[in-house]
Structure formats: C-alpha cells, structure tokens
Structure 1
Amino acid sequence: MQGILYICATPIGNLEDVTIRLLKTLRAVDLVACEDTRQTVKLLNKYKIKKKLVSYHEHNKKGKEHYIINELINGKNIAVVSDAGMPAISDPGEELVKRAIEENINIEIIPGPSAVIAALAISGVDTSKFIFEGFLPERQGKRQTELRRIEPETRTSILYEAPHRLLATLEDIKEIMGEERWVVVARELTKKYEETKRGTVIDLINHFKTNPAKGEICIIISGKKEKTKKADMTQIIEEVETLIKNGENKKEAFKIKAREYNMKKSEIYNFFEKNKS
C-alpha cells in the first residue's frame, strides 16, 4: 500500500503559528523532507518531535524527488516542508507534487501560514483581485522587462524580494510606474522586527535609503487606476435600459453603471425616474 504525501505549511516566523493538524502530521509521518534541516529542526525541537529528516531543496531536488517517490511507493508517509510558509509556492515542491500525481500517490494539504496572503491582508490595498509574481529577475534589464509587463495591471501585484535588491527594485518601479504608484513593503512578518511601510514608491525609497532593510520581504504594488468614463447621463440611462431589456435586474443595472462611471447609484436612479415621466 502506497504512502501519503503531505504538503505542509509551516510558520513564516513565529513558531507558535502552527496548527494542531500540522503537529499531528509531523508526529505521524515516517519522514520529513525539508528545505534546510537546520531550520526545520528548530520547529521540531520546540514541539518535542523527533523525526528522520532528509534535505530537499532547489539544488538537489531532482535526485531527492526520485528517492521520495520511491519511499512513498513503498508505503512511507512523508511530509514536505519549506523553511517557511507553503511548499511549492516559490519554494521546492511543485515538481514533486506533479511526480506524485503521475504515480497516483495520495496527496494531502496541511494549510497554514503564507507570507503572500499575510502581506496582502495587512497592506491596506485592494485585496479583491491580485497576482503573485514571486521573485523578479536579479538583472536589472530583465527585472525592468517584467515590471513593464506588470505596469498596466489593474489588480494588486505581490512580489518577493531580497533585502540587498530592495532599493534597486523600488527604483525600477519608480522609473516604470511613476513616483506616485502606491507601494507597501512588508518584511519579517510575524518576527520580532516585523515592519510594514506604506506610501508612494518615492516615500519608500527615501525611507529605505536611511533604514536599510533586512530579512524576508514582500512588495505589494497597487493596481493601475482605470480611467473613469466621462458621465453623460443620457447615455448612462440608455445603457441602463439596455441592461434591463437584456434581462438584468433593475437594481443591479443601476449598481453596474454606478460602479462603471464612479457615481452614486442614487444619482442614476433619480435621473432615470425623473426623465421616465
């Protein structure tokens, strides 16, 4: 009987951010595949868990994936963890999951902390729609190419960045997206020196020039504001009537056009009622 592959989210900083299910899983499995055994053992020691560990990281993943899959086929239950957060998201694990699927091995997710979601939730920018870009290229030319692709994006964009490249990336954001683009830098989330700075990109450049950043960093870039259509009430009412004629609920039709033209729903409704008579 084949074993089960558990994809386990671990704390992104504060070791108390564990779930009961994670601890139960780590105690029950036969083996823990981890990005850095020195990091994982800190978590295991805190909760008095003794378990066989095997390193599984970016530089050895091909060989170790073969070993892990064989162990699973032979009935071993294995937990995969990264140094922090969710494996397979900008961390090793994606290819292992694909291999396990190909071998019809059962996979279970043990959800938990995520730096991406934590940074977004605390950012204060629009959370209704967002994209995650991971780490941008190290070389400036390629990094700027990626930022030009992101620049027209109306959804919130989330990036990871290393502290020694933070200023260079902020400078590139300023050059490509303008000085007034709203940006949030969240670093060392859940740790002792957690910091979240919000402001225009030029504000953040000035801050981090005199306060060099350290630790794990998320950059949240607000989406590009869409140009609001110029309001022509007669045209708006015609569009409302078209929506209603096509089967849209009257209240919903007013709501759709109010959002589209950045107006109050009552303005459109009052004009509609006034001109109806």
Structure 2
Amino acid sequence: MGKLYLVPTPIGNLEDMTLRAITVLQQADLILAEDTRTSGKLLKHFEISTPMQSHHMHNEHKTVPAIVARIQGGETVALISDAGTPAISDPGFLLVRACVQEGVTVDCLPGATAFVPALVNSGLPNDRFVFEGFLPVKKGRQTRLLTLTEETRTMVFYESPHKLVKTLGQFVEYFGGERPASVSREVSKLHEETIRGTLSDVLQHFEQHPPKGELVVVVGGKK
C-alpha cells in the first residue's frame, strides 16, 4: 500500500520550503494541487516534474474515493495547497479522513502556516489559544461571535482584506474596544507587518490604511 503525504508549501518566502518537502514531492507518484497553475510555478522553481492533479473544495467530494484507491494500489500521493499547510482552512480534511477510515498511512510534514507566526508575534498569551479560521460569512456568524464573547483563551482568525474592517468592527461590538489584539499582514512576504493595540486602535488603523494581502487576526481572551 502507498501513502498520503500532506506537504506544506511557502506562504511567502520560497526559502521556507523544507528540503524534506522537496524530496517528497520529487519522489511522489502524484501531486494533488489546489490550483495547478499556482503550484506549477512552485514546482518549476524547485525542478519538480511529478504529475499534478487538481484537488480543491469544488471537486474533492467526487475525487476522494479514486485517490484513496490509487494509494491502496501502491501509489504515493502528496497533497499541497496554494500556500501553507493543507487542511488548515484549505482542502484536505475529507481526503485525510477517508484515508484514516480505510487504514491508509497519512504523514503530514511540518512546515509553513500563517497563524503560528502571527500568534507568536502578537505578544498575546499563546500557552492556550483557539484557532477559529474564517468566521461564517452569514449564517451562524452572530451565534459564533456570541459564543466567543466568553472565550478566555487567545483567539486566532483568518480574514480577507475587504472584510477586515467590518470584522474588526464586530469584534469591538461583541468583545469590547479595549480587548488587546493584533493583525499580521503578508506573513513571510516582502511587506510583512504586524499592527498591535486595542481592538479600537487596530480598527482605526485599518480604517485609515485599507489593508492588502493575507491577514491573521489575534484577539486576547476574556479576563
């Protein structure tokens, strides 16, 4: 029987790619990529010629059984996302679950992910934290925020640039403007920066300076 590898890819700086990740991708029989065009550039940079197949949120429900069958038949399959660690706010969970259920070996390599550097850089307590990823866009959003008002651990969120100000405004409304927070932008990229302060401070900053790039929001828990 083969094996499924989950391989983290750089979220910014290409030097964040590990030697082990390169080796696994070179030796795999198949690479599953969220976007083959994006991943094609990465593979070309590291001179990796392994065949690729598209695997994303719109087709993973249909493709999982066939992929599991290929691994059971002896193939080694590597899953990558556009950036970061697969299955962390990216496709991957369904395939991992199916492999586990079928007794297929799964090996996730350590590597790049945006929320860990952002959490550490925030200066907020990180001995206990909760990763919330992207909040629900509509249905369930208010319920989730109400639940989190009682959360005592540091909270970590992903957010897109065009929704950040609205989300920070909701955080001020539900958590209070004096709650400590930080927003890390473009982690591991050329224009990386972290803005720290109270939620009100951070909101005011991004109202005056519209954000660009990938964002991680870290909010202190209730005391």
Deviation at 1:144, TM superposition (A): 3.0
Secondary structure of the corresponding residue to residue 16 of structure 1? helix
Per-residue Cα deviation, 1:42-63 (whole angstroms, up to 9, x for no partner): 2111111111110101000011
Q: Which residue of 2 aligns with 1:161?
A: 159
The more displaced of 24-33 and 191-200 is 191-200
Q: Which residue of 2 aligns with 1:103?
A: 102
Secondary structure of the corresponding residue to residue 43 of structure 2? helix
**Aligned partner letter, 1:102:** Q
Unaligned runs of 5+ in 1: 226-277
Q: Which residue of 2 aligns with 1:134?
A: 133
The structure with more radius of gyration = 1
Whether contact under 8 Å (1:27, 1:51) holds in the other structure is yes
Structure 2 residue 11 is matched with structure 1 residue 12: yes
Per-residue Cα deviation, 1:4-23 (whole angstroms, up to 9, x for no partner): 11011111111110111101
Q: Distance in 2 between matches of 1:176 and 1:106?
A: 43
Q: Which residue of 2 aligns with 1:29?
A: 28
From 166, 173, 176, the counterpart of 1:175: 173
Structure 2 residue 121 is matched with structure 1 residue 122: yes
**Aligned partner letter, 1:71:** R
Q: Which has the higher contact order (CA 8 A, sep 6+)?
A: 2
Per-residue Cα deviation, 1:151-184 (whole angstroms, up to 9, x for no partner): 1211100011111110110000111111111111
Structure 2 residue 50 is matched with structure 1 residue 42: no
The ranges of structure 1 where at least 4 consecutive aligned residues each deviate by more than 6 angstroms after the TM superposition are none
Q: Distance in 1 between matches of 2:103 and 2:136?
A: 35
Output the TM-score relative to the length of structure 2: 0.96
Quick one: percent identity of the two aligned structures?
44
Secondary structure of the corresponding residue to residue 91 of structure 1? coil
Q: As a proportion of its length, which structure holds more helix?
A: 1
Output the TM-score relative to the length of structure 1: 0.78
Q: Which residue of 2 aligns with 1:148?
A: 146
Q: Distance in 2 between matches of 1:214 and 1:26?
A: 31
Deviation at 1:67, TM superposition (A): 2.1
**Aligned partner letter, 2:160:** A
| RMSD over aligned Cα atoms | 1.2
Q: Which residue of 2 aligns with 1:200?
A: 198
Unaligned runs of 5+ in 2: none
Secondary structure of the corresponding residue to residue 126 of structure 1? coil
Deviation at 1:185, TM superposition (A): 0.5
